[in-house]
Amino acid sequence: MLLDLFYILVFPGFLFLSAFALWAEYFDRLVYARLQNRVGPPWFQPTADFIKLVAKADLVPTAANPTFFRLAPIIALTAVCTAFIYIPLWSTSSLFSFNGDIIVILYLLTIPTLCFFIGGWYSTSLYCRIGAVRTVTQLFAYEIPLFMGLLAPALLANSWSITEIMQFYIDHPWFWAFNLIGLIVSLIALHGKLEKAPFDIPEAETEIVAGGFTEYSGRLLAFLRMTLDIEMIVGASLLAAIFLPFGLQSGPVVGFLVYLVKVLLIVFLFSIARTIFARMRIDQMIAFCWQYVVPLAMVQLLINLILKGIIIR
């Protein structure tokens, strides 16, 4: 019991997750800066930002609904932290594993998006409302390819449990190569979920200031930013677990290092994508997802179905 609590709160749970998330934000910003020929922030910048925000006063707009306005960031943060404990990191098993955990994780990862919407909508500021509506509109564009992409390997493994998917990879070591399209689809969809350029439409600075986050300040803003950072780690870990099954049997230390490399590689890819594209318009983003990403995901599903029907059996 006490050990479980340690797992959840300290390692690899909340504390480790927060520290790693902040460090990953630093890594992302550093890479982003270096790609743009800048110096970038010092290593403690995200942490310092977090501490600074936490120390500041929370302002709730008078016209806002205080309950939803305050609850949204907290629920969002809780949801992403909860999702993390179901993801296996360096071995095939997570802290708490059961059949169907992959579905639970996907739903837990949807909650922050909805919280951003609710927080933005109940801020009642015009920028926030436009941002909130854009958040949800965008959700309909990326959520389906994300589900299709992530569930394709599950189809192959014939299980809704991540542990069993990873077990399947141990039995069939080269099958990850067949899921590369799914990896690409999931990366694009996750990028949209994290609202990073070119999909940063809901918080497009030059149009709607900070979108749904415009009215947030102090601790609540710190939570929102932390949510996005942790969501990035959770999403990257999930992708690493499902699509990059390397170093699973090499013991905790090496396995852990391999895990870090995998997550940072995904973060690095995100930084590059952030650097080389211009922000899309919301209509372009939806058209892009439905015209290119969803068909790609379908191709992946088709490949897996064929694999399952012909080769495995």
Partner 1 sequence: MSGPEDFKIPLGPQHPALKEPESFSIALKGEKILGVDIRLGYNHRGIEKACESKSYLQAVYLIERICGICSHTHSTCFVQGVEELAGLQVPKRATYIRMIIGELERVHSHLLWLGVAGHEIGFDTLLMYSWRDREVVMDILAMVTGNRVNYGINAIGGVRRDISQEQIKDILAALKTLRERTLYYIEIASKETTIIERLSGVGILLPADAIKLNAVGPTARASGVDIDIRRDDPYAAYSEVEFKVITDNHNDVYGRTVVRMKELLESYNIIEQALAKLPEGPIAVRAPRKVPAGEVLSRYEAPRGEDLHYIKANGTEFPERVKVRAPTLANVQAVKKMLEDRYLADLPIVVAAIDPCFSCTDRLIEVKDLDQGETKILDWQKLQQLSIKYNQQRGLDFTAAGKRLQRLMEK
Partner 2 sequence: MKNPGKMLFEVLNHLFKKPATVNYPFDGSKMPKGFRGKILFHPEKCIGCQLCVRDCPSNAIKIIKIADKQFEAQIDLGKCIYCGQCVDSCLKKAIEITSDFELAQLDPTKLKITVKGEPPTTPPPNQPNNA
Which partner in partner 1, partner 2, none is near 41 (CB below 5 to 8 A by kind)?
Answer: none
When asked if residue 269 is in the footprint of partner 2 (CB under 8 A), the reply is no
What count of other Cβ atoms lies within 10 Å of the Cβ of residue 185?
A: 28
Which one of 5, 10, 19, 36 is in contact with partner 2 (CB under 8 A)? 36
Q: Which residues contact 134 (CB under 8 A, 6 or more apart)?
A: 201, 202, 208, 211, 282
Closer to partner 1 by CB, 63 or 126: give it: 126
Which partner in partner 2, partner 1, none is near 209 (CB below 5 to 8 A by kind)?
Answer: partner 1
Which partner in partner 1, partner 2, none is near 282 (CB below 5 to 8 A by kind)?
Answer: partner 1
Tokens 């629920």 found at: 75
Where does residue 174 rank: exposed (0-12), middle (13-18), buried (19+ CB within 10 A)? exposed
Q: Footprint of partner 1 on this chain (CB under 8 A)?
A: 35-38, 55, 57, 121, 126-127, 129-130, 133, 197-198, 200-201, 204-209, 275-284
- Give the range of 36-44, 139-147, 174-182, 187-195 binding partner 2 by CB under 8 A: 36-44
Residues 38-67 that bind partner 2 (CB under 8 A): 38-40
Residues in the chain: 313
Which partner in partner 2, partner 1, none is near 39 (CB below 5 to 8 A by kind)?
Answer: partner 2
When asked if residue 281 is in the footprint of partner 2 (CB under 8 A), the reply is no
Q: Pick from 236, 211, 237: which is nearest to 224 by CA?
A: 211
Which one of 2, 37, 57, 62 is in contact with partner 2 (CB under 8 A)? 37
Closer to partner 1 by CB, 61 or 247: give it: 61
Put residue 37 in one of left, alpha, beta given phi > 0 → left and psi -120 to 50 → alpha.
left
Which one of 9, 272, 302, 312 is in contact with partner 2 (CB under 8 A)? 272
- At 275 the three-state DSSP class reads helix
Closer to partner 2 by CB, 33 or 74: give it: 33
- 212 touches 223 (CB < 8 A): no
End-to-end CA distance of the chain: 42
Closer to partner 2 by CB, 246 or 268: give it: 268
Q: Pick from 18, 41, 19: which is nearest to 30 by CA?
A: 41
> Before 12, cis peptide (omega within 30)?
yes
Q: Which residues contact 241 (CB under 8 A, 6 or more apart)?
A: 87, 88, 89, 162, 165, 166
Which one of 74, 275, 307, 308 is in contact with partner 2 (CB under 8 A)? 275
Which partner in partner 1, partner 2, none is near 272 (CB below 5 to 8 A by kind)?
Answer: partner 2
- 39 touches 49 (CB < 8 A): no
Which partner in partner 1, partner 2, none is near 4 (CB below 5 to 8 A by kind)?
Answer: none
Which partner in partner 1, partner 2, none is near 34 (CB below 5 to 8 A by kind)?
Answer: partner 2
Q: How far is the CB of 129 from partner 1 (least distance, A)?
A: 5
- The residue ranges that bind partner 2 (CB under 8 A) are 31, 33-40, 272, 275-277
